[in-house]
Amino acid sequence: MGQPESKPARFPQPGDHIYCRRKGGLYDHHGIYVGDDMVIHLQGAAKKLGALPACHKCGDKRVENGEIAKVCIDCFLDGETLQIYDYGVPLPEFMNRKRGTCCLRHSKPPHEVISAATGFLERNGFGSYDMFANNCEDFAVYCKTGSAVSYQIVGHIERVSAAGPAGILAGAAVAAAYGISKAITGAKRHN
Ligand SMILES: [Zn+2]
């Protein structure tokens, strides 16, 4: 949309929130890099990525099932380019960046981020995957900051709203649904 793409990726450090494009850029997939070439992520809902044999490195079966999983970085990226999500971005920069690439809030220290992601993995405790209320970006942002907001979704709502009066209504309906289910899933979360 005329906005600059993310900065070229540096090598991820344990505790970094990483993401890559999926489905030719239709959406991005997010996870927490925990070191040793491994990523903890919230997988999408019941979508087969391909009839491939399980990964020999991490055992990932390339099936998205709405669960929190630990996979190797190759399975996470699935051939796409690694990007690193930025935290503590100043407001003017945030406004100019593509939604779903950075966050105004600051990250917790890396060891706290990793222990949050690991805790969710052990309990499989982030609720079921929901494109609007509980998605992979929410999971990663939640691990990084202790609360969740999906800027990728906010970006979609902004684009819908830019489509005119009908778009504004649709956007408001999406935002309302998002807010309501957010409150419900938020209440169920324990950290
Ligand atoms: Zn793998």
The domains of the chain, with CATH numbers, are: 17-188 (3.90.1720.10)
Has 29 been annotated as catalytic?
A: yes
| The pLDDT of residue 132 | 56
Residue range 138-168, pLDDT digits in tens = 899 999 998 776 566 566 555 655 555 444 4
Catalytic residue of the set 17, 20, 30, 41:
41
How much distance in Å is there from the Cα of 117 to the middle of ligand 1?
18
Has 136 been annotated as catalytic?
A: yes
Has 20 been annotated as catalytic?
A: no
Positions in the chain short of pLDDT 70: 1-9, 45-52, 62-66, 127-134, 149-191
| The pLDDT of residue 17 | 97
How much distance in Å is there from the Cα of 156 to the middle of ligand 1?
30
| The pLDDT of residue 72 | 94
Average pLDDT, the chain: 75
How much distance in Å is there from the Cα of 146 to the middle of ligand 1?
28
The 3 state secondary structure assigned to the chain is CCCCCCCCCCCCCCCCEEEEEEHHHCEEEEEEEEECCEEEEECCCCEECCCCCCCCCCCCCCEECCCEEEEEHHHHHCCCCCEECECCCCHHHHHHCCCCCECCCCCCCHHHHHHHHHHHHHHCCCCCCECCCECHHHHHHHHHHCCCCCHHHHHHHHHHHCCCHHHHHHHHHHHHHHHHHHHHHHHHCCC
